[in-house]
Structure 1
Amino acid sequence: MHARPTDLEVVILGAGMSGLCMAIQLQRSGIDDYLIVEKSHGLGGTWWDNRYPGAQVDVPAPAYSFSFAPNPEWTHRFADAAEIHRYQQRLAEQHGLAARMRLGVAITEARFDAQAGRWQLSLDDGSALSARFFVCSTGPLSRPRWPDIPDLASFKGQLLHSARWPAGVDLGDKRIGVIGTGSTASQLVPALAPTAARLTLFQRTPNWVMPRLDRRYGALDRWLARFPPYAALARLAWVQFLELGRRGFDEGTLARRAMTAAARGHLRRQVPDAGLRERLTPRYPLGCKRIIYSNDYFGALALPQSELVTEAITGVTERGVLTLDGREHQLDALICATGFDTTQLLAELPITGLDGRTLGETWRVNPSAYFGLTVPGFPNLFLTLGPNTGTGHTSTLLFIEPQVQHALACMRRVKQSGKRWIDVRPEAFAAQDANVQRRLAGSVWSRCSSWYRNDSGRIIAIWPGFTGEYDRAVRRPDEAAYELG
């Protein structure tokens, strides 16, 4: 490193929900000596990246606000991306976070100095930082995944990715192709199909779709939400309701039978055409892939200008997409709604811990961390929404908050002990990881291919239990699981 580093107590990578939560709780605990580094030119994380038409959260908004910062300004039960971004901006303004952010700058290298007990960080603007603690809050939904299709770059029309949506793009009266049928596509398709000359959805696997219990919030709702007891009760009620959905992932439960029946009934009511309905019927158990919640996805596919293509894509030409039946689907715009690469977490950033070992090398085969938070050999490094902390049923914020409290407790322990660093013990890490994988084996998530799993088949994204179990295990660290140095 050529530049003299700026010394800090904590550096936070990422200004999304996790980074904002960490910064606010640092301030509340009396730590003001921190900096958020964000490579995008604005805060928001996934809500900065995901600006495609129709983008919205897929859990009720009261559960998608922090317990310490309820939002009385929600206008719908399921908030859209712009509304969530405004919530994030208000959080930053209320807590004065802008002064402790560096936007449009990326960390290019992170190396732990064991002797000093500090992380040495290089940035792409030539500057350097030194921090006792390094928090990686980028999460799993940050690196766009492009489909592995021959000659994709040869397409001469507009080639777009849902996670990098350009401002001002107009697709009205265009022939649009959409690759991907997950949550993103279920929001994009209804937003684009009504004004498209033609919309072609290329489906590899149909998804389970449940009704979305959405409604507009009126003046009375927003007035009540300004009373803390009401806001807390509304949030708790939705959190508990979402936990019922977790029971739907367990074989033989009443919740599972009810959710499956609801999804099948939803498809039957919204798609009267038997042939189309057959092609939209999943062949894998509900919950194996992330469930879609939508009231207008099926309706958009039934429009006369929409076409569902289930033949496999064999390639891309200058004019469109080739499918296995020999057709060339001519397009003006091709949208890849193919989500994020969740198998190569933090792959773009060399993070070097003890003994010169990098996190990329450690995670090359199977990304794993102690409760998704810490990795042996990488002292004073904390992850948020790390491996096996995802959910298929509830708000990620319910996992972020205890993760932040866990990291803060570890930081306090280091300072109180007078030691230089804290590191999870390899045996504690191995035991917890083995327990998670044992519980996931044979679960619904093991019964199909999804972004929850990596190429080896290991489930790397999902937490196998209920939200409360994770909170209780994580919020107060087990001191025996960590060693000080």
Structure 2
Amino acid sequence: MAAPEFDFVIVGAGFGGIGAAIELRRLGYDNFVILDREDDLGGTWHVNHYPGLAVDVPTTTYSYSFEPNPNWSRLYTPGPEIKRYAADVADKYDVRDHMRFNTVVTGARWDDETNTWQVALESGDPLSTRFLITATGFLSQPRMPDIPGITSFEGRVLHTTDWDDDYDAAGERVAVIGTGATAVQLIPELARRAADLTVYQRTPIWVVPKIDVRFGALARRLFARVPATQRAVRAVTDGLYEFLVYVGVLRYDSVGRLNGAARLLAGAHRFASIRDRNLRRKLTPDYEFGCKRPTFSNSYYRTFTRPHVHLQADGIDRVEADGIVNADGTKTVLDTLVLATGFDLWEANFPAIEVIGRDGRDLGKWWRDTRFQAYQGVTVPRFPNFLSLASPYAFLGLNFFNTMDYQMRHMDRLFGELKRRGATTFEVTEKANARYLDQMTELLGDSLFTVGDCASARSYYYNPAGEATLLRPMTTRAALREASTYPVTDYEFA
């Protein structure tokens, strides 16, 4: 029997794939390849480069815990710096040479006879590997709006995930469809240049003030020379976010409804920014704070008070060659249409590629026929030697890097046990997976997503069946503890 070409194939060269590769190097594995459909690393921070792009959590928190970056320019760092951080980490830990770009993975199938994964590529022969890790991220499949006539528009169409860096909105009539987290960053930037800007809103979003600070040269030198200072700042930002998620989301029913304070803050911010009562009403969500990812901005609300910026909250009837016909029968003539319509998480991203496990089990079909589920947000029964880093119940709180930290610990325990036993395959048991699903269901029962008023939020936290199965409903500390101490008997080794 021929040996597999690789020990590991990792799909995705974003922060998830980079983190997985670093962990593999720590564990002594070197025969792995990272495949990515884009032409460079960075995942969503490579694909997205629209004006105003920045992190929406403090960058003291938004980084690998083992690799703090003393060079951030400010607390909410612009996107290009995040991309540069990804490149620096990949170079430092010597994983860039394992990457193959412009390589589209179309699917993977487990071969019971050879105990390998056969990974199909859009071009070229399939690759064989002992282990498969999908690190395709949660925000990797752009959503296109299903609006009558959308393909008939003859002007320029830009999706925020495919931005044209040479585009200049100066003097143009522009429309933005969408008011999610991306739009909150982009709209103020477009308003500075466009002659006329119309924003089409389906669901208002909660926006609170952004307390941003610049890290001067002195602070950066201090972070570099005394790393403990940066770790202390991270401890503060981590602790604050952890507290907000715990009391505002995870223990919404039993701890107390402190979300009201956040609603008041957002309301005061809106009132201070907008004097027009009717405009404030249109921009006020009717769902609970936290049902949808809240955003931070000091300029979003004020942008709508400018005379050339218009909020259209009554809906779209259709798109025509020269503009948008609104639900009230009026027409907005346009030069450029900007689609800030977010990402398709559930239909196109779970999983992002076709994955066929033992006995022909199709992962996507199984999730939809039963329930979305994954043991500790990482592994699935009947899928040997497979880890999915973008799975149901995987995303932890508001910070992807906390997710990556616990997943790396899970890998460390799992592959350490695999080596100790001299085994070649692992598979999580049906019993362990069912127990974990019951645990997640129970924890969600006390959360904002189950008890709170989220019906009108249209949040990507919810799957098509109405279950909030994206987030792992526990604290970072609890997730790290679970990842370090779960019973190894939850897996079968052979």
Q: CA deviation at 1:28?
A: 2.0
Q: Bigger shift: 460-469 or 436-445?
A: 436-445
Q: CA deviation at 1:231?
A: 2.0
TM-score, length basis structure 1: 0.95
Q: Pick from 455, 461, 467 the counterpart of residue 470 of structure 2.
A: 461
Write out aligned runs for 1:153-168 (5 A).
Answer: 153-168=151-166
Give deviations 1:43-70, integer Å, cap 9, x for gaps.
Answer: 0001011111111110000101111111
Check the 8 A contact 1:5/1:127 in 2, yes or no.
no
Check the 8 A contact 2:417/2:488 in 1, yes or no.
no
Check the 8 A contact 2:147/2:319 in 1, yes or no.
yes
The answer to whether residue 280 in structure 2 is matched with residue 277 in structure 1 is yes
Check the 8 A contact 1:157/1:332 in 2, yes or no.
yes
Q: Pick from 360, 370, 373 the counterpart of residue 368 of structure 1.
A: 373
> CA 1:102/1:452 → structure 2, altered by over 3 Å: closer, same or farther?
same
Q: Pick from 301, 308, 331 the counterpart of residue 328 of structure 1.
A: 331
Check the 8 A contact 2:175/2:338 in 1, yes or no.
yes
> CA 1:62/1:88 → structure 2, altered by over 3 Å: closer, same or farther?
same
For residues 405 and 87 of structure 1, what CA distance do their matches in structure 2 show?
A: 22
Q: Report the counterpart of residue 77 of structure 2 in structure 1.
A: 79
SS, match of residue 475 in structure 1: helix
Write out aligned runs for 1:300-339 (5 A).
Answer: 300-339=303-342
Q: Report the counterpart of residue 393 of structure 2 in structure 1.
A: 388
Q: Bigger shift: 109-118 or 326-335?
A: 109-118
Check the 8 A contact 1:154/1:316 in 2, yes or no.
yes
SS, match of residue 292 in structure 2: coil
The answer to whether residue 285 in structure 2 is matched with residue 286 in structure 1 is no
Q: CA deviation at 1:342?
A: 1.0
Write out aligned runs for 1:55-454 (5 A).
Answer: 55-226=53-224, 227-246=226-245, 247-249=247-249, 250-251=252-253, 253=256, 255-344=258-347, 345-365=349-369, 366-391=371-396, 393-441=397-445, 443-446=447-450, 447-448=454-455, 449-454=458-463
SS, match of residue 322 in structure 1: strand
Q: Report the counterpart of residue 19 of structure 2 in structure 1.
A: 21
For residues 5 and 189 of structure 1, what CA distance do their matches in structure 2 show?
A: 53
Give deviations 1:60-111, integer Å, cap 9, x for gaps.
Answer: 0010111111111100100111110010111112122221110110122211
Give deviations 1:151-202, integer Å, cap 9, x for gaps.
Answer: 2111111111111213322222211111111100000101111111111111
Q: CA deviation at 1:6?
A: 6.1
SS, match of residue 61 in structure 2: helix
Which residues of structure 2 form unaligned runs of 5+?
none
For residues 206 and 370 of structure 1, what CA distance do their matches in structure 2 show?
A: 34
Check the 8 A contact 2:409/2:480 in 1, yes or no.
no
| Structure 2 letter corresponding to 1:20 | I
Check the 8 A contact 2:203/2:285 in 1, yes or no.
yes
For residues 322 and 243 of structure 1, what CA distance do their matches in structure 2 show?
A: 44
SS, match of residue 61 in structure 1: coil
Give deviations 1:446-480, integer Å, cap 9, x for gaps.
Answer: 42231111222122212222222222222343212
Report percent identity of matched pairs.
36
Q: Bigger shift: 224-233 or 371-380?
A: 224-233
> CA 1:285/1:206 → structure 2, altered by over 3 Å: closer, same or farther?
same
SS, match of residue 281 in structure 2: helix
| Structure 1 letter corresponding to 2:346 | T
Size of the aligned set, in residue pairs, is 481
SS, match of residue 415 in structure 2: helix
For residues 367 and 358 of structure 1, what CA distance do their matches in structure 2 show?
A: 13
SS, match of residue 11 in structure 1: strand
Give deviations 1:380-436, integer Å, cap 9, x for gaps.
Answer: 111113212235x53110111110221232223223222231111112111211221
For residues 38 and 425 of structure 2, what CA distance do their matches in structure 1 show?
A: 30
The answer to whether residue 490 in structure 2 is matched with residue 481 in structure 1 is yes
> CA 1:171/1:6 → structure 2, altered by over 3 Å: closer, same or farther?
farther
Check the 8 A contact 1:385/1:399 in 2, yes or no.
no
For residues 319 and 32 of structure 1, what CA distance do their matches in structure 2 show?
A: 55
For residues 486 and 99 of structure 2, what CA distance do their matches in structure 1 show?
A: 28
Check the 8 A contact 1:384/1:404 in 2, yes or no.
no
Q: CA deviation at 1:363?
A: 2.1
For residues 261 and 292 of structure 2, what CA distance do their matches in structure 1 show?
A: 18
For residues 158 and 490 of structure 2, what CA distance do their matches in structure 1 show?
A: 45
Check the 8 A contact 2:350/2:391 in 1, yes or no.
no
TM-score, length basis structure 2: 0.93
The answer to whether residue 37 in structure 2 is matched with residue 30 in structure 1 is no
| Structure 2 letter corresponding to 1:275 | N
Give deviations 1:259-318, integer Å, cap 9, x for gaps.
Answer: 222111111111122121111111111111111111111111211110001101121111
For residues 260 and 201 of structure 2, what CA distance do their matches in structure 1 show?
A: 26
Check the 8 A contact 1:184/1:337 in 2, yes or no.
yes
SS, match of residue 440 in structure 2: helix
> CA 1:353/1:147 → structure 2, altered by over 3 Å: closer, same or farther?
same
Check the 8 A contact 2:23/2:411 in 1, yes or no.
no
For residues 475 and 145 of structure 1, what CA distance do their matches in structure 2 show?
A: 36
